[in-house]
Amino acid sequence: MHTPTTGHGSSSAQRRLGFIVAVLAAIGGALALTRPFLPIGGTWAWRIESPVDLERASVNAELVSVDERGAQLIPQPNRPISLITPPLALPANAESTVFVEAAYTGAGDGRRRCIVRLLWQAEAQSAYRYVETSARLSADTTRIAFSLPDSPEKIHRLGVQFPEVDGPIFIRSVAIPSLSFTERISLFAGQAGEREPFRAHSMNFLRGPVMLGHGLNYYLIALIALAGGGYVAVRLRLSQRVDARVMIGIFLLAWLLSDGQATANLDRNIALDVRDFAGKSREGQIAFSEGEDIAWAWQRLVAECPEGGTYAVVSDDPFRPAHRLAYLLAPLRTRVEDYASADFIVVIASSGARFDELGGVFSLREGPEAKATLIDRASDQLYLLRRESR
């Protein structure tokens, strides 16, 4: 192995410069590693104790009550519970961890693990983005920690969403408190070990764990700077040669830490996937991965639409149901865009679809009317029609 070394034959000015750079790297690394553990940031809190606290907030749920226990919310049909703060002016040096206090009474005496999302909006009218975590909720108030997803001045509103909760939930506060050193250590360990659930976007990127507001790479680069800079500084101070193998070793060690986390996350996600899909029928697998509505539509179309037939998907979501069904049914049954020319019309959660069952007429907003007969209906938002030739 070719292992280049430095310091051999270099001038004393170069060595002095190298020494200074190495010391600065080590100091920078040490400071970067300690900074997240120091209580030096500003705080903020939104406590919900009366209806006044919800002024200018956005409540996407049925508001049952507001008292010192917080806002009690139950979900609206086909919509996850979410609560958005009024417009914010967070302190510019805000601490990096947001806590949500919530209680879930639908779990009875036990605890239920479910996904909780922290939403944020960069400016009014812009789309909300989210980060999510898996939390164990119970009837007692639980504190759910999130790293602040962006710099404070870029956050216009924060929000919290419970996509898997179907019962009443109390949201007591959203706050950025100042934490003690021991609380930070404990939070760091908890966040480092958190599973990042694999979603559709996981094919595009992995965020990795965020601890005390900083990603894993931040800590690893700081660690490399501290260890590498320290090693080089010591060797140059002692007028000894720097062994490149040690530097490679330090880098490899940091990579191993990163890999350990990523592999553990992958293994946990794949193990969950395998467990979730094991023993399920094809229908069950489709229902689990694509949703009950798509599985129902697939089953009904296979049963009703003959091979060579066509169907149209009418849905508010222009992408997912249509593409999923196209993949599941092609090429024996062909999806067409125009419902007025399709043999079958499957309606999946479409706000603009109108079907007059007595008159046998289907229409979509201002689109053409199509004579159709109801074949099967799972709900008002999910049904299959056969188009009749005029």
221 binding other proteins? (CB under 8 A): yes
Interface stretch with other proteins, choices 51-59, 99-107, 186-194, 216-224 (CB under 8 A): 216-224
To the nearest 10°, report the CA torsion of 305, 306, 310, 313.
20
Contacts of other proteins in 186-215 (CB under 8 A): 198, 200-209, 215
Q: Within a 10 A sphere around the Cβ of 280, how many other Cβ atoms?
A: 13
Interface stretch with other proteins, choices 57-65, 173-181, 182-190, 243-251 (CB under 8 A): 243-251
Among 31, 34, 136, 327, indicate the residue that binds other proteins (CB under 8 A). Answer: 327
314 binding other proteins? (CB under 8 A): no
- Percent helix / strand / coil, the chain, rounded to 5: 35, 30, 35
Reduced to 3 states (helix: H, G, I; strand: E, B; else coil), residue 176 is strand
**Which CB atom, from 181 or from 255, has the smaller least distance to other proteins?**
255
Interface stretch with other proteins, choices 111-119, 186-194, 327-335, 374-382 (CB under 8 A): 327-335
**Cα 124 from chain centroid (whole Å):** 21
Among 45, 63, 92, 330, indicate the residue that binds other proteins (CB under 8 A). Answer: 330
**Which CB atom, from 92 or from 248, has the smaller least distance to other proteins?**
248
331 binding other proteins? (CB under 8 A): yes
CA end-to-end span of the chain: 80
**Which CB atom, from 151 or from 178, has the smaller least distance to other proteins?**
151
| Burial classification of residue 209, based on how many CB atoms lie within 10 Å of its CB (0-12 exposed, 13-18 middle, 19 or more buried) | buried
Distance CA 250, CA 246 (A): 6
Distance CA 253, CA 247 (A): 10
Contacts 24+ apart (CB under 8 A), 204-211: 206/262, 206/265, 207/131, 208/261, 208/262, 209/261, 210/131, 210/147, 211/36, 211/147, 211/187
**Cα 197 from chain centroid (whole Å):** 8
**Which CB atom, from 159 or from 213, has the smaller least distance to other proteins?**
213
19 binding other proteins? (CB under 8 A): no
233 binding other proteins? (CB under 8 A): no
- The residues of the shown chain that bind other proteins, judged by CB under 8 A, are 1-2, 4, 6, 198, 200-209, 215-218, 220-221, 224, 244, 248, 251-252, 254-256, 258-259, 261-263, 266-267, 270-271, 273-274, 277-278, 285-286, 289-290, 319, 323-324, 326-327, 330-332, 334, 336
